[in-house]
Amino acid sequence: LILLAFTGCKEVEKLTQFTMSFDNQVTIPANTLINIPVNLATPEIPTNSQSTFSGNNTNAASIDEIILQSMSLTIITPADSNFNFLKSIEVFINSEGLSEVPLGSNTDVKDGIISLNLTTTGANIKDYITANKFSIRVATTTDEVITEDHEININTIFLIDAKVLGQ
């Protein structure tokens, strides 16, 4: 009976969870600097979270936690490029009135890859995603000279956990 209750609670918990994804672009400019951190920022990103919450039969006040489930980077241009030039990358989120929080990183980027998954921090970023807008800052360190700009797509998937009814 206890196992059944535990299993039932886990099933209800799954019903109160959903994901929200964003795609943003950032350009890593051509440069001759190696092993020097370069900071890049995205324009402010509207969250449209209220409509996502509404579509999942909840609202911002009912959200317990929002964490970054996954973050992947893909080179858009130049088309024939890879991440060989990248030594490390850290990604941060910020929003007006809130302190910047790290989201994910990769401190040992392997050569030959065109898509890069970051290790996420597991930080609760509820206040950033329930805000009207947020921005992303990317800190990169290169280990090769890059002779042309690299446009990178950042795909983020956030796991949203709403309160169980009656709690």
Share of the chain above pLDDT 90, in %: 54
pLDDT tens per residue, range 130-151: 998 999 999 989 888 889 999 9
Mean pLDDT, the chain, rounded, equals: 86
Q: Is the pLDDT of residue 14 over 80?
A: no
Q: What is the pTM of this model?
A: 0.82
Among 26-40, 82-96, 98-112, the minimum mean pLDDT is found in 26-40
Walk across the sheet containing 115-117 and list its strands. Answer: 17-28, 150-162, 63-77, 115-117
Q: Is the pLDDT of residue 6 over 80?
A: no
Return d(Cα 24, Cα 101) in angstroms, integer: 18
For 97-112, the three-class secondary structure string (H helix, E strand, C coil) is CCCCEEEEEECCCCCC
Phi and psi at 58, nearest 5°, equal -145, -175
